[in-house]
Structure 1
Amino acid sequence: MSRTNPPPRRSRRRAYLVAGALVGAAAMTVSTLSTASAGDDPQVLQRVDNPYAGAQLYVNPDWSAAATEGGGAAIADQPTAVWLDSRAAIEGGSAGSNTMGLREHLDEAVAQGADAIQIVTYNLPGRDCAALASNGELGPEEIDVYKTEFIDPINAIVSDPAYAGLRIINIVEIDSLPNLITNVGSRETATPECDEMLANGNYVEGVGYNVATLGDNENVYNYIDIGHHGWIGWEDNFQATADLLFEAANAGGATPDDVAGFAANTANYSATVEENFAIGDTINGQPIRGESSWIDWNNYVDEQSFAQDFASVAAPAAGFPQGLGVVIDTSRNGWGGPDRPSGPGPETSADEYVDGGRYDRRIHLGNWCNQSGAGLGERPAAAPAANIDAYAWVKPPGESDGSSEEIPNDEGKGFDRMCDPTYEGNPRNQNNPSGALPDAPISGHWFQAQFEELLANAYPPL
């Protein structure tokens, strides 16, 4: 079995929502943000190490209305990220919906009295070169369009002095750079599309331009995506990913000072913490690493240990400053409900021990699309552990990862067989069944059946 784990792939877009009534903003931590004078303007915020700390985060009324209508009134006041996944999404109307544009969200955040807002910038040329469900609108060579028609217009809005009192948390280009580590060259998981993006350099240049341009604003905090432990936690992938991120942090006019931290598990399902086994455990005198088919030769078993080591070990080794934090997306990794293990599995074999005790109930770590049995995870919280800036719901619960069958659309989104519940897999999930739910709409559109499962299987329970 390969020591470089097939990369779990996923997609996650803005939802097809109906704007609804404003709900109260949810506070991660109740406190008053400090300000510093800039001239005579008291609204300019001091730069902080962790933008989530002490911040009341923006609650998106578009998502809140859909969650309430879908039976999720108990969580409708939770903060979720605003996805900017196309040029049209900047002004509103992404995914054919009547959702608000970026300026409207920022105005709403000010009206709510929020201290911070989370956005996802997600529109690189040749986007998501290993998953058809999340293909984007720009061709592989359209880096100039990305800069001038996507990032520059976003920057023109966020740099408006009216929003200088908001911390703007920017989750940067999900999946892009990790794809250039695992899905290229002679690897079994390689795709021609990822080889092209590695060769033309437009992922690196685009990420660099993104963090450089938006990072020129003192109130913007850029978090670059690092995939998740099941994808990047392998020896061949871990440091190489940090090194590539550092290259991007020095491209397109950027410097490492433009990077506030990293984002892990975005729109994915990996458990935050696995409590019933650890990487150093042994069964019958043999280490479970290498013996368990679930772990294989990965160095990590959960997101938190992976993220902490990435921030404290791999990133500084690549050249980033010490002290950067990680945001872990916990929107769909709770894995509660009746199938949640209450303790370790039997010590009869490594497989039975790990499989009997793991919270993550996916068939394989490489499964990323609309996973059956998933539940809401930890509620958004600031600084829950060392080197972790926040648990956050970056992927708004209820949004589809991709359609379970081909659905014609004008959003540039294809049909990926990993979203087909009948699919028997590929090298990126070691040829296992997809584990996807049936009857799913295209990525970013509201998926009521999945939302109901997330509520039912929430952990901590609702």
Structure 2
Amino acid sequence: MSRSRTAMIAALALVAGASGTALAATSGGVGTAAVPCTVDYKVQNQWATGFTAAVTLTNNSTAKSSWSLKWTYAGNQKITSGWNAKVSQSGAAVTASNESYNATLSSGGSVSFGFQGSYSGTNAIPATFTLDGVTCNVDSGGGPTNPPTDPPTDPPTDPPGPTDKVDNPFTGAKMYVNPDWSAKAAAEPGGSRIANQPTAVWMDRIAAIEGVGEAMGLREHLDEALKQKGTGQLVVKVVIYDLPGRDCAALASNGELGPTEIDKYKTQYIDPIAAIMSDPKYAGLRIATVIEPDSLPNLVTNAGGTNTTTEACVTMKANGNYEKGVSYALDKLGAIGNVYNYIDAAHHGWLGWDTNLDPAVQLFKKVATTNGASVSDVHGFVTNTANYSATVEPNFKITDSVNGQTVRQSKWIDWNNYADEQSFAQALRTKLVAAGFQSSLGMLIDTSRNGWGGTARPAGPGPQTSVDAYVDGGRTDRRIHAGNWCNQSGAGIGERPKAAPAAGIDAYVWVKPPGESDGASEEIPNDEGKRFDRMCDPTYGGNPRNGNNPTGALAKAPIAGQWFSAQFQELIKNAYPPLS
């Protein structure tokens, strides 16, 4: 956008000043107690054909265990989506009723919700609101306390709204440094060298929204982000990660919700997150969400017809709750003007074969166009989340050949179409756009633990005695097998977060905070639903998903998400580029 900061502030003031704020007043000797309820209806953003609005309802009468607010539009406004309330419309009449988590409305208590709508002509503020049949903003004598006024007939030029989302939210912006992670990193020997790096905030269970133990909740993180933002732009990365039957192929990251608890996922997890993110207080932040790591890729490769199939993945494909949950998250969060949704797309060592990638693209498109979601709710995709695949393999290309054999024929590549994450992400983007996603689609790559530096890093290509010697001698990714994912021995900190590092890539980011375990190396009882996965056991001989190879996992690891000091030390020792 080319508008100056002054012009933007003026435009916002015009909209806010005509927002129809209706508050209890004391003019004429009438106190606030005489008003049974007040409604503050604000048009936040308005453009040529649409608008977003925020509503705050205050109950001044007896406490309520449920509530229903109604109004009627004078024009042709149509509400298209809402959050923090069940909003329905019949003709010009609108009803907003409570969700399960905000049903209680105490005497003097308030509740806020929001919605997006379309209109043509004028967008007049409703004249009357009723709470459970009682007229709000009117004192006991029947007079309005502060009558609402209409927004300007002609909205400001280039008004801020959902269509104003920038092409790449990371360009020209700082990234949020999570204080919880930063403190743990700084407390480690040598950790101060990366403690100021930005990492994602993981919402991996319902309790995390409010904060667990000493960990900050989502609202606390966003409040802190406002402090870090200052006068510039800032991106906060939030991982949405609590689907029913979560991670059907990896026990270490199983979650709290059972396979059928889709309604609980919607009302107790996504809806409260959307309510916090849609608070006008945070409208100046850019919030980049990472939507449900590993979920949709599991439906592609592990839900039937292959030797990697699991019963849990078959169940989740049959009941459709991964698809329904991701669609719901896209719809609810995508409706918020400053939220940028990035769907997780696994990594090249998982989906890099056309037999996996093409079905994945079809599934991504289905999820982005059903159950209320649309492709406009998807800003991009993210690869390598919490994984170790090298961003770029510098010593060989997928098109190289040795003694008449191509790199694809090597045991390490195993006929994969891609040798590294960046080439995979760029090719995936091309396929997604061809399938109907927006041409502005951007990709993220998690580089937090894929540096593979240290003494084991090859200085150049391997010998050309055979294609396997050439690839194995030159590859920087030193895992035993590309399917190994748990607390990998020899891994190092990767590229530091940066915006627009390559064509089609919105940013390198640290989604997985370095030092947080991938899973326990032995059975550890816990109340988070996380189970023991043998892929985290260094003595395990593997399974079909890693070619029946040793796991390469570190010993004595705690459960997923807990601090693992030995892993952190390994990562900073093997960082590439090296730490200064």
- So what's the TM-score if we normalise by structure 2? 0.72
Question: Could you say which residue in structure 2 is the equivalent of 1:254?
Answer: 373
My pick for the range that moved more, 299-308 or 234-243, is 234-243
Match of 2:217, as an amino acid?
A: G
Question: Could you say which residue in structure 1 is the equivalent of 2:403?
Answer: 284
| Match for residue 304 of structure 1 among 414, 422, 432 | 422
Residues 1:402 and 2:496 are matched in the alignment: no
| Mapping for residues 361-440 of structure 1, pairs under 5 Å | 361-440=478-557
| Mapping for residues 12-51 of structure 1, pairs under 5 Å | 37-38=11-12, 39-40=14-15, 46-51=164-169
Please give the alpha-carbon distance, in whole angstroms, between the structure 1 residues aligned to 2:554 and 2:407. 30
Q: Deviations over 1:351-370 (max 9, x none)?
A: 10000000000000000000
Q: Deviations over 1:85-115 (max 9, x none)?
A: 000000000xxx4100000000000011262
Secondary structure of 1:355's counterpart equals helix
Please give the alpha-carbon distance, in whole angstroms, between the structure 2 residues aligned to 1:218 and 1:331. 28
| Match for residue 254 of structure 2 among 135, 159, 173 | 135
Residues 1:55 and 2:173 are matched in the alignment: yes
Shift of 1:323: 2.8
Please give the alpha-carbon distance, in whole angstroms, between the structure 2 residues aligned to 1:163 and 1:334. 34
Identity of aligned residues (%): 65
| Match for residue 263 of structure 1 among 367, 370, 382 | 382
Secondary structure of 2:408's counterpart equals coil
Match of 1:56, as an amino acid?
A: K
Secondary structure of 1:304's counterpart equals helix
Match of 1:176, as an amino acid?
A: S
Question: Could you say which residue in structure 2 is the equivalent of 1:294?
Answer: 412
Task: State the 4+ residue runs in structure 1 displaced beyond 3 angstroms.
Answer: 32-46
Q: Deviations over 1:386-433 (max 9, x none)?
A: 000000001000000000000011111000000000000001101000
Secondary structure of 2:333's counterpart equals helix
Question: Could you say which residue in structure 1 is the equivalent of 2:183?
Answer: 65
Match of 2:422, as an amino acid?
A: Q
Seen in structure 2, the aligned counterparts of structure 1 residues 439 and 384 have a Cα distance that, compared at 3 Å, is same
Question: Could you say which residue in structure 1 is the equivalent of 2:96?
Answer: none
Shift of 1:286: 2.0
Please give the alpha-carbon distance, in whole angstroms, between the structure 2 residues aligned to 1:111 and 1:143. 35
Question: Could you say which residue in structure 1 is the equivalent of 2:360?
Answer: 241
Question: Could you say which residue in structure 1 is the equivalent of 2:195?
Answer: 76
Shift of 1:443: 0.3
Residues 1:191 and 2:287 are matched in the alignment: no
Question: Could you say which residue in structure 2 is the equivalent of 1:275?
Answer: 394
Question: Could you say which residue in structure 2 is the equivalent of 1:329?
Answer: 446
Gaps in structure 1 of 5+ consecutive residues: 1-31
CA RMSD of aligned residues (A): 1.6
Looking at both structures, which has the greater relative contact order when contacts are Cα pairs under 8 Å and sequence separation is at least 6? Answer: 1
Please give the alpha-carbon distance, in whole angstroms, between the structure 2 residues aligned to 1:366 and 1:153. 35
Shift of 1:40: 4.2
Please give the alpha-carbon distance, in whole angstroms, between the structure 2 residues aligned to 1:232 and 1:432. 19
Q: Deviations over 1:141-180 (max 9, x none)?
A: 1111000000000011000000000000000000000000
Seen in structure 2, the aligned counterparts of structure 1 residues 112 and 449 have a Cα distance that, compared at 3 Å, is same
Match of 1:111, as an amino acid?
A: K
| Match for residue 338 of structure 1 among 445, 455, 459 | 455
Please give the alpha-carbon distance, in whole angstroms, between the structure 2 residues aligned to 1:133 and 1:147. 23
In terms of Rg, which structure is larger?
2
Please give the alpha-carbon distance, in whole angstroms, between the structure 2 residues aligned to 1:224 and 1:82. 16
| Match for residue 271 of structure 2 among 133, 144, 152 | 152
| Match for residue 120 of structure 1 among 232, 239, 242 | 239
Gaps in structure 2 of 5+ consecutive residues: 17-43, 46-159
Question: Could you say which residue in structure 2 is the equivalent of 1:170?
Answer: 289
Q: Deviations over 1:339-392 (max 9, x none)?
A: 100100000001100000000000000000000000000000000000000000
Match of 1:396, as an amino acid?
A: P
Question: Could you say which residue in structure 1 is the equivalent of 2:341?
Answer: 222
- So what's the TM-score if we normalise by structure 1? 0.90
Question: Could you say which residue in structure 1 is the equivalent of 2:100?
Answer: none
Please give the alpha-carbon distance, in whole angstroms, between the structure 2 residues aligned to 1:250 and 1:151. 18
Contact 1:331 1:396 in 2 (8 A): yes
Question: Could you say which residue in structure 2 is the equivalent of 1:12?
Answer: none
Seen in structure 2, the aligned counterparts of structure 1 residues 419 and 35 have a Cα distance that, compared at 3 Å, is farther
Contact 1:33 1:115 in 2 (8 A): no
Shift of 1:252: 2.4
Seen in structure 2, the aligned counterparts of structure 1 residues 358 and 145 have a Cα distance that, compared at 3 Å, is same
Seen in structure 2, the aligned counterparts of structure 1 residues 55 and 378 have a Cα distance that, compared at 3 Å, is same
Residues 1:179 and 2:295 are matched in the alignment: no
Larger strand share, 1 or 2: 2
Q: Deviations over 1:66-95 (max 9, x none)?
A: 0000131011111100000000000000xx
Secondary structure of 1:383's counterpart equals strand
Secondary structure of 2:515's counterpart equals coil
Question: Could you say which residue in structure 2 is the equivalent of 1:99?
Answer: 215
